[in-house]
Chains A and B, each alone.
Chain A
Amino acid sequence: MTGTWTLVRAYLRRDRFFVLWWWIGGVLLYWSQAVSVIGLYATQAEFDRAADYMGANPAFIALAGPARALNTVGGQVTWQASAFGAILAGLMSMFLIGRHTRAEEESGRDELVRSTVVGRQAPLAAAVIVAAAANLVLGIAVALSLVAVPLAAADSFGLGLGLTATGWVFTATALIAAQLSSSTRAMYGIAGVVIAASYVLRAVGDVGNPVFTWLSPIGWYQAMYPFSGLRWWPLLLLLAAAAIAALVAVALLSRRDIGSGLLSSRAGPARAGGVLGGHGFRGGLGLAWRLHRGTMLGWMLGMFLVGLSYGSIGNDVEQLLGDSDFARDFMIQGTADLIDGFYATAALMLALGASGYAISSVLRPGAEEVVGHTELLVATDLSRRAWLAGHVAMTVVGTVMVLGVSGLGLGLGNALVTGAGDAVGRYFWLGLAYVPAVLALAAVARLLFGLAPGQVSLAWLPLVLAVVVMLFSTVLRIPQWVQNLSPFEHLALVPAESLSWSAVLAVGLVATLVSFAGQLAFWRRDIG
């Protein structure tokens, strides 16, 4: 274990901003639930009524957890935040462990460190200490933020420390994943599946056979019942599981060589399939498809599920929102019909989410350029235009697909809950209506890539602006001209407003022109 503390200090130095953002995110998740619930309902009777509706909806229970004491602020916070908080702590732990173990081995930096006076277990021990501390701070910060609201201190700490222990379990499972896999990607894959499976098991258990809930660490966390008869013993289950999994990981580490995993990386095909390669534009398209398809399918699945969950809120919107003006303003963007207004807001949120895919797909060719792939390709008969055109096509096709399936999820979710089959037809196109606006954000990113490839990460700022305009335009009194910078402002809030084809075409035209300007700039600049 020699050198562990030196490594811990080095890791903390590297991680200080990384963990800071996760802490801020976690605290906001819990604290904002408390604050928003307090403002939402004018009377306790109204709160009781909303709680009854929520607690009777199996879709909500599957999404969030067992419905307990939903007519109290603490009960609401626990219900709305604990499952997602557990996922957040799980992801933070997974990335912390990954970047200090598997990623370091893959890059060869681990070799350099291990050649110095450092014990065999030291890098792993240091990673565990850092991840454990990060989870502890997260849990305590969440608890303190809830005490400050103010909510009951014991229950607040139950909710916070339960989160810490859940994070520790996922820290340990990520550690096992790091020993099994031989690449960082595969490690995140395994650890991510463990987190996802924990979430799904408790969802199945909460609406069906409770046995499944008891197979999931997230289920144990929620079984602590904060704010509804807090009990501490499930915390012991979490601590025991974390300890056992960590011991397994240590045992596995001593059985493997540094740099390799217990599962060897699979061999792939010796020859390229028909998709790869080809002349001109086809050559660029084939490779771009191969590089984007995994991300694209992942986004499609994720956004479909988000759409499904929004859709499954069904026509209960009215009861959920109660009579609070604030809730109405926020949730339905000031439109007349409540249900249409809710779906318009949901579609807008889905579109903002899909912008994440669009912008990241634009950044992909930049990443290819930095590592030298572009140089290798453009030195062949593949022209730089055709190379970029392939990536542009994947941005456009992927955006349409992601928005398409998220709208489909919205319609299907509604149809499943209300039993009205025509809901699919009514809502599935809502996502597609935002294609021009999402592509406009992608086009700004493309322009940056063409003109200033070093500053391309600024491409996320317009999305941040669009989100801020949507959430806070009335609260912050953002001037109209700033709001107009968001392409989403110019499109109709379908289905609450009727679709404006002229706006769709105008935003689409601007997006096309800006994207083309970016491509033109790339054609003329240096590569590499």
Chain B
Amino acid sequence: MRGVVKTFGSTRALDGLDLQVTPGEVHGFLGPNGSGKSTAIRVLLGLLRSQGGTARLLGGDPWHDTAVLHRRLAYVPGEVNLWPGLTGGEVIDLLGRLRGGLDEKRRRDLLERFELDPTKKGRAYSKGNRQKVALVAALASDVELYMFDEPTSGLDPLMESFFQESVDQLRERGRTVLLSSHILAEVERLCDRVTIIRSGRTVESGTLSDLRHLTSTSVVAEVERRGDAATGLGGLAGVEALVAEGDRVRFEVETASLDAAMRVLVGAGIRSLTTQPPSLEDLFLRHYGERIEASET
């Protein structure tokens, strides 16, 4: 997707969104609630018509070539609503057949692993179980591209980890996965590359290590010669929020200056060292936090 625009009345849901997913990767699509993730996915599915920019899906046009494209993908919406009168098993079969068939063995395995009772009627399922029905239907069909819109929002941690295993298996089989989420740990655990959006616009895109360059590692160290450490670190570019108290120093360091900072600490004699790797949480906060502040001042 390049520069895609979609408006609903006066709201600009997508405001020049760029999103590129390369075949064979697990791509994380990250953004807060209402940032346009679901809208972007619906444009890719040909449910919504984009009003500007270009969108290509598996080499085709998502609006015109739906019939051909949908044979090659499976989709799980964020909010799964099932037919009250159809059982879970019937829905799985229905969606599978509409996708052109599903793998019987995998269907059995998935039902068992997800501990899903396929004889219950749609109205009797809880939110998590409705989601499982849609997940089983998608994972049991063998397609090139899997699109999950906040797939684990109703799942318990055990099911969540089983979902993660399933995504790993898809990656091993060389399938492409687009996974939208606001759960950072999940994206961190699963994704090769990440696109972050906010207010319908791409803020950042790249591999996790690319993105980590933008963030800093927080370090807490106990050293023998605190004075040496404090003066050394104080003179380094890329070190922020330096606090020295007792024989401990605490600071944030950019990835580029990490090596230099460590040398300073070694020179001061390290007794203990705790580092916190940059998480997407920080990334998220930095981006959204900073932009919000910038726009407010």
Contact = CB atoms under 8 A, between A and B. Distances in A.
A425 interface: no
Contact of B120 (A267, A375, A381, A526): A267
B31 interface: no
Contacts of A279: 100
B212 interface: no
Contacts of A25: none
Interface residues of B, number: 43
B81 A371 contact: yes
A381 B71 contact: yes
Interface stretch (B45-53, B190-198, B214-222, B254-262): B45-53
Contact of B89 (A185, A271, A377): A271
A283 B96 CA distance: 11
B79 A372 contact: yes
Interface in B93-151: 93-100, 117-121, 123-124, 134, 147
Contacts of A379: 45, 47, 70, 73-75, 77, 147
Nearest to A527: B47
Contacts of A283: 97-98
Contacts, number: 126
A268 B70 CA distance: 29
B84 interface: yes
B119 A527 contact: no
A339 interface: no
Nearest to B122: A268
Interface string A369-410: 001110111111111100000000000000000000000000
B208 interface: no
Interface residues on A, range: 35 or more
A528 B94 contact: no
A476 interface: no
Given A267-B120, A379-B70, A272 B89 contact: yes
A381 B90 contact: no
A376 B95 CA distance: 8
B56 to A, nearest CB: 17
Contacts of B67: 381, 383
Contacts of B80: 372, 376
A265 interface: yes
B42 A383 contact: no
A410 to B, nearest CB: 32
Nearest to A526: B48
A272 B123 CA distance: 17
A269 B119 contact: yes
Contact of A528 (B47, B75, B120, B124): B47
A269 B91 CA distance: 11
A272 B47 contact: no
Contacts of A273: 90
A290 interface: yes
A416 B131 CA distance: 55
A267 B121 CA distance: 7
A269 B87 contact: yes
Interface string A247-278: 00000000000000000011111111100111
A267 B95 contact: no
B285 interface: no
A291 interface: yes
B99 A528 contact: no
A101 B91 CA distance: 29
Interface of A: 106, 182-183, 185, 265-273, 276-279, 283, 287, 290-291, 294, 371-373, 375-384, 524-528
